[in-house]
Structure 1
Amino acid sequence: MAALAYTNIFTNDIDRLADFYGTLFGLEEIVASRSPIFRGFVAGGTSLGFSGPGAYELLGLIPLEGQGDRAFQTFDVDNEQEVRDLTGKARELGGTIVKEPFATYYGWFQSVLRDPDGNAFRINFRGAAA
């Protein structure tokens, strides 16, 4: 079975976005991988990377045109209160709340947000709502 090693977010300002997620979730930076076009962080069993515009050429990719959600990151936490607390912290750090913390029909508790670049992400507790 394959394992997800990295998920990367392209951004025009890798420092701003890396600092947003690093500060919000207390992620440990993988300093050895830092470059002018990349910053990476340990994020549980995978790693989260932030790639600047120079990474497109390195990877042989052409930036997609237009707006729209193309990726959706989910960050699991240990309890409902942590969902609430991190949702508020995300707002303080420049994020936008799309949907306040709520209980899902499948028994999880989560909020939906956008980071300072407008990328959608979710803060999630995989337990029954109180």
Structure 2
Amino acid sequence: MTMSTPTQPLSVTVSFVSLLCRDIVAQAEFYHRLLGFGYLTELESEHFRALQSDGPILGFSGPGAFDLLNIPHRDLGMTGTTFWTFGVEDEATVDAAVSTAESLGARVVKAPFRTYYGAWQAVLADPEENLFRFSCQ
């Protein structure tokens, strides 16, 4: 399979990254308490919650999103195939973030370690088993 290149380069930014979850309120609160990102109440609905990061908005979509967006239903209790990585400034912050995440209900999948490319990171699962990492170079 060959990949084609657009004739005109697209000018895009990543505006939202969204997580499909069973309980949008609990999941948004978990990440709010863990990361300190503020709520975007103007985007709230029965189907969606959002947090403002210094980059893309972190979105939390409930099970109704399957039908609203016409996407295939899946078991929201299974570990996903994508994950978020949150960059922090140093190794001590990775270690502290892991402790905070655990106290909020996260599960450590892989304790802080040195990657093959020299980063210090840890892999965790949130209360709904979505994977995420804390990492620093």
TM-score, normalising length: structure 1: 0.90
Q: 1:61 — aligned with what?
A: 71
In structure 2, distance between residues paired with 1:46 and 1:64 = 25
* Aligned residue pair count: 126
1:74 aligns with 2:85: yes
Q: 2:8 — aligned with what?
A: none
Q: How does 1:6-25 map to 2 (within 5 A)?
A: 6-25=16-35
RMSD: 1.4
Deviation at 1:2, TM superposition (A): 2.4
Which sections of structure 2, spanning at least 5 residues, go unmatched?
A: 1-10
**Percent of residue pairs bearing the same amino acid type:** 37
Q: 2:40 — aligned with what?
A: 30
Q: 1:91 — aligned with what?
A: 102
Pick one of 76, 98, 113 that aligns with 2:124: 113
Q: Which amino acid aligns with 1:73?
A: W
Deviation at 1:3, TM superposition (A): 1.8
TM-score, normalising length: structure 2: 0.86
Q: Which has the larger radius of gyration?
A: 2
